[in-house]
Amino acid sequence: MRVLNLVPSEASRFFQQQVDTLESLGVENKILSVPGRREYDDGDTSGRSVLDYARLYPHALAASFGDYDLIHANYGLTAPHALCQPNLPVVLSLWGTDLFGKYGRVSKLCARWADEVVVMSPDMAAALDCESHVIPHGIDLERFRPEPAAPARERVGWTDEGYHVLFPYPPEREVKNYPRADRVVDAARDHLEAPITLHAVTGVPHAEMPSYLNAADALLLTSHHEGSPNAVKEALACNLPVVATDVGDVRTRLDGLPQAHVGRSDAELVDGLVAVLRSDERPRGRDRVREISRQHTGEQLLSLYRTVVDG
């Protein structure tokens, strides 16, 4: 099977993982990305203009005359390009920001016309007025696995003193709401005797992220909205406690796990963070994410491709 992929940037790490997994299952992928500067993994349009996205269309149209079985639009703002070619059936994957952010109306409209739609969480499916398939981006369970904190901290250069809270996004990302994370950690300091350090980790190679997750005492996610945040799933794969806002599929992922808390208010987030930092217990989060391994989600996506091609 040959698939033409449209994506804001082929450097998006979870998109590249998807491609690698599908290729291991026998899918040949051609990738066209949006010209221009791009900064973030989730398709955010910071640094991209309408003209940049418009410049993708002639390339998508020309490629659609090639020997492909379908076109897969990854992220909502690439959907118009896929739908405006006359040759190939269209699979549309929505990632979260594209549905709940400022361009959500574009994504919802395009979803009605795609042959099949993939979303990251049940909440995203509920936000659409068409049928969709919940297939979150898979995670690499071989790479993301628990290990002792001490050697991980040595590798990343963190001290063994006090608590380390990981915020795995750029502080300038408005949707990730770093100021709230900073407030929550600052308030938690009043309830704990040992110092707390908030680490905003971004731009490091993906292969190094397991070290940061295992070095941390907790992951703190304070996003305004998400689809199915990979950072939470990767933290669970490392059995790292998670404290998060009620976004995307986070509540479902964390439901019933000890040392995992979902909060709507700052006070609830502070209470949750203090609770996990005071405890030496780690959640058995890895058991929760076995069903969303890269292999499993890749097989689901391949099955959907076959349905589109055969249908």
DSSP-assigned letters across all residues of 157-170: T--SSSEEEEE-S-
Can you give the pLDDT at residue 303? Answer: 97
- Report d(CA 267, CA 272) in Å as an integer: 9
Can you give the pLDDT at residue 40? Answer: 52
Q: Is 90 exceeded by the pLDDT of residue 284?
A: no
- Residue 92 CB partners (closer than 8 Å, separation 6+): 72, 73, 76, 79, 82, 110, 111, 114, 116, 117, 118
Query: Could you tell me the sign of the dihedral formed by the alpha carbons of 81, 84, 88, 91, in that order?
Result: positive
DSSP, res 49: -
Can you give the pLDDT at residue 178? Answer: 97
Can you give the pLDDT at residue 38? Answer: 55
What percent of the chain has pLDDT above 90?
79
Mean pLDDT for the stretch of residues 152-160: 96
Can you give the pLDDT at residue 290? Answer: 86
Q: Is 90 exceeded by the pLDDT of residue 11?
A: no
Mean pLDDT for the stretch of residues 260-283: 94
At 12, is the pLDDT very low, low, confident or very high (cuts 50, 70, 90)?
Answer: confident
Q: Is 90 exceeded by the pLDDT of residue 37?
A: no
- Locate 2 and state its tokens: 């040959």
At 266, is the pLDDT very low, low, confident or very high (cuts 50, 70, 90)?
Answer: very high
Can you give the pLDDT at residue 66? Answer: 96
Q: Is 80 exceeded by the pLDDT of residue 41?
A: no
| Residue 79 burial by Cβ neighbours in a 10 Å radius (0-12, 13-18, 19+) | buried
Q: Is 50 exceeded by the pLDDT of residue 220?
A: yes
For residues 102 and 197, which has the higher predicted lDDT (pLDDT)?
197
β-sheet bridge partners, residue 262: 244
Q: What is the mean pLDDT of the chain?
A: 92
* Residues 163-198: tens digit of each pLDDT: 999 999 999 989 899 999 999 999 999 999 999 999
Neighbours of 63 (CB within 10 A): 18
25 near 296, Cβ under 8 Å?
no
Can you give the pLDDT at residue 102? Answer: 87
- Locate 282 and state its tokens: 């780690």
221 near 244, Cβ under 8 Å?
yes
At 240, is the pLDDT very low, low, confident or very high (cuts 50, 70, 90)?
Answer: very high
Q: Is 80 exceeded by the pLDDT of residue 43?
A: no
Q: Is 50 exceeded by the pLDDT of residue 45?
A: no
- Report d(CA 250, CA 243) in Å as an integer: 10
Q: Residue 294 to residues 8, 169, 208: CA-CA distances in angstroms?
A: 21, 22, 18
- Report d(CA 177, CA 159) in Å as an integer: 26
Threshold 0.85, pTM exceeds: no
- Residue 271 CB partners (closer than 8 Å, separation 6+): 261, 263
Between the two ends of the chain, the Cα-to-Cα distance in Å is 15
Query: Could you tell me the sign of the dihedral formed by the alpha carbons of 122, 125, 127, 129, in that order?
Result: negative
Q: Please, where are the H alpha helices in 205-265?
A: 209-215, 230-237, 250-254
Q: Is 90 exceeded by the pLDDT of residue 271?
A: yes
Query: For the range 60-64, what are the long-range contacts, defined as Cβ-Cβ under 8 Å and sequence gap of 24 or more?
Result: 60/4, 60/6, 60/32, 60/85, 61/85, 63/4, 63/30, 63/32, 64/4, 64/88
Mean pLDDT for the stretch of residues 109-136: 96
244 near 266, Cβ under 8 Å?
no
